[in-house]
Amino acid sequence: MKNDPFFWFKENRIVIPGVKEEHFFVHITDTHLDAIDELSTVEEIAKVEYQEELWAKYKKIFADKSGEPYGEPQMISTREAFDKQIALAEELQPEVLLMSGDNLDNMHPAGERYLAKRMGEYKGRFIAVPGNHEDPSCAGVWEAGVHTIDFDGFRIVAVDNSRKTVTGEDLAALKAVCAEGIPVIILCHVPICTPLCKEIMKSFDEYFYIEKGTADENAREFLELCESCDAVRAIICGHTHGYRDMEFAPGKPQIIGGQGHAGAVDLLTVAGK
């Protein structure tokens, strides 16, 4: 699978002092899965066909904008692309498959059924957050609220910021997790834009990130917590449909995955040095 020309890879390394072993993760985002099945209505089928036609156009637009691979191998349906991504993850056997939102193109019954089925069959551990195209929960795939997976010397914390904000409840839960002092890697959908990474983030429209100037108080608190809290060491996210790797605060990387339905895959190592 790794030699399949559909895929293109970025290797990322997050260093957290005190981590004793190397930990390997696969990160995918923005797979925008559309699906139909025998229960789909005529209207649902028409909408999926329309969305697939749109993505046939916009995948190339996003790829060209970010200078990323796009050719015949990427000209496949979102369902084919999603199946390839899951098969690759099963082959690579990461400790956890990280899915940072817009897993579905929109919340549609056949897509939800197919996504739940495929992730139920997935031979490994995964954690997913919703994107701006999705609801806060999707049975069997992700749930509302802040979720944590602990490892040796760090933890991955899944946070829903898909509406360019977080709920008051989730913000309080994230603050409580960070207060424990264990190094945190945040998995979310929408990137943040700080003075340190402003030049890179401004290559995207402001629709694609959270910035300090936002009028949303919870969004500002989330950004400031990420930027200033010593426990927060990195952010893994998506939404932009273009890969970027930058520091949003000194020593704190923000890794933004490319469009998964066009073959983008992040290979992520977390280690002590």
Domain contains 2: no
Domain contains 25: yes
Q: Report mean pLDDT in 10-residue bins for the chain, 273 residues.
A: 94 97 98 97 97 96 96 97 98 98 97 97 97 96 98 97 98 98 98 97 95 94 97 98 98 98 98 96
pLDDT of residue 128: 98
Domain contains 86: yes
The C-alpha atoms of residue 191 and residue 5 are separated, in whole angstroms, by 28
pLDDT of residue 2: 83
CATH label of the domain that carries residue 187:
3.60.21.10
Instruction: Look up the domain containing 243 and give its range.
Output: 8-271
The C-alpha atoms of residue 156 and residue 24 are separated, in whole angstroms, by 13
Placement of tokens 């993760």 in the chain? 25
Q: Please enumerate in sequence order all residues whose Cβ is within 8 A of that of 152, keeping only pairs 6 or more positions apart, or say none.
A: 19, 20, 21, 23
Indicate the number of domains in the chain: 1
pLDDT of residue 43: 96
Residue type, 164: K
Domain contains 263: yes
Domain contains 3: no
Domain contains 169: yes
Domain contains 130: yes
pLDDT of residue 1: 79
**pTM score, whole prediction:** 0.97
CA-CA-CA-CA torsion sign (227, 232, 233, 234): negative
Pairing of strands 23-28, 244-249: unpaired
Sequence-ordered alpha helix ranges (H) in the chain:
42-66, 78-92, 109-121, 168-179, 198-201, 217-228
pLDDT of residue 174: 98
